[in-house]
Amino acid sequence: MIDQRAESSGYETIRDWLSRRCAIHYPEAKRDLLTQRLGRVQRAYAIPSLAALAAAVGDSQQHEVQLAVIHAASTNHTYFWREHEVLEFFRASVLPDLARRPQIRLWSAACSTGDEVYTLAILIAETLGMAALEQTQILGTDISEPVISRAESGIFPARQLQSMPAALRAKYLVPVGIEQFQVIPALRRACTFRRMNLKVTPFPFRNTFQAAFCRNVLYYFAHEDQVATVNAIADVVEPGGWLFTSVTENVRDMSHRWKVLDSGIARRAERS
């Protein structure tokens, strides 16, 4: 018989661990959702209860289970050409300036399977020409190892390409199976993917970025983690550089280091 008190305690232990470890915050209203996602980890590793899963998460030797819990708790829904208005602002108002730079350096934080990273590469190729990709470095990072592996492959199901103009899909992706498409090598060479935890600051970058994209992730964080994240991003974006968030995420109340220009669009102060 399952001890409900132990199960409730196990759930709270895991929820608190996720918040401390990687800033993933599940309010009480999403208890059933997190329990369902943790159930997948229990079944995969034959762990009989949440109490036992909490014990495994607290065991430093259970690294594989810890990563599985993080992956299960993460929201990895993404697709190409997400939030057109933000992308159009980047294309029309930011890329012309970056075209005059010797190198374009962009960062997509919490990139999931890399849809945004490759979307940015396509925007650059279309706006500045394919040759511009040779001077472009786009870094995609995510806390989940499985989605980083998928991003590196550059292979996507058709459903993740539905918002992308058909002509661009035909130009930059090739069929590799039934309803599967792979990004062409010229784009993949400009894109690098790494596993990284946004909770661990300062971020380990030697060179600054001209723009950072942290879209559809901040609202999963508690407010104090939102503040810490946008300030840490300011540390690795050049003065006058850009931060793009989701149109539903407003950094105006999170940091004085960013000047909000429009929904989802902010610019770093020249001086911090």
What are 95-148's pLDDT values in tens digits?
999 999 999 999 999 898 999 999 999 999 999 999 999 999 999 999 888 889
The H or E element containing residue 182 is strand 180-183
Put the strands of the sheet holding 155-157 in their side by side order.
Answer: 155-157, 180-183, 173-177
Tokens of 183: 């990004």
Q: Which amino acid is at 125?
A: A
CA 5 to chain centroid: 35
What's the CATH architecture for 4-73?
Orthogonal Bundle (1.10)
DSSP 92: I
Task: For the full predicted model, state whether its pTM sits above 0.85.
Answer: no
Residues contacting 247, CB < 8 A, separation 6+: 83, 85, 86, 263, 264
Of 215, 191, 194, 216, nearest to 203 by C-alpha is 194
Q: 161 by DSSP, 3-state: which? A: helix
Q: 48 by DSSP, 3-state: which? A: coil
DSSP 110: T
Place of tokens 């964080």: 221
Domains of the chain by residue range: 4-73, 84-268
What are 257-270's pLDDT values in tens digits?
999 998 889 999 87
What is the CATH topology of the domain spanning 84-268?
Rossmann fold (3.40.50)
What are 36-74's pLDDT values in tens digits?
888 888 888 888 888 889 888 888 777 788 877 877 777
The CA distance from 52 to 70, in Å, is 16
